[in-house]
Amino acid sequence: MEPIEIPIDGVLDLHTFNPKEVKLLLYDYITACREKEIFSLRIIHGKGTGVLKKRVQGILKAHPDVLSITDAPSHAGGWGATLVALKKS
């Protein structure tokens, strides 16, 4: 299986990924965004039952480079997406 190339633009859609891959994926994506000096992210986890959202937000809260997280406004996915502010230093 070949690796999936993800554009590094500050928006990460998790719909096509296995939940087991989420932690490593988020860590790698945050690193790549910081390298490109992208400090505002939108992580799309979907609405569903809320299990993936809780997992994503738990991972983000524990990440040392994350400054804050919040649910996206309705026009950007509402509670189906999480906005992330990364530390700049």
In the chain (89 residues long), the average pLDDT of successive 10-residue segments reads: 84 91 96 97 94 96 98 95 95
Domain ranges of the chain: 11-86
Sheet holding 40-44, edge to edge: 11-13, 40-44, 81-86, 66-71
pLDDT at 89: 78
Domain 11-86 listed as CATH 3.30.1370.110: yes
Q: Which residues contact 43 (CB under 8 A, 6 or more apart)?
A: 12, 14, 26, 56, 60, 81, 82, 83, 84
Q: Using an 8 Å Cβ cutoff, are 79 and 47 in contact?
A: yes
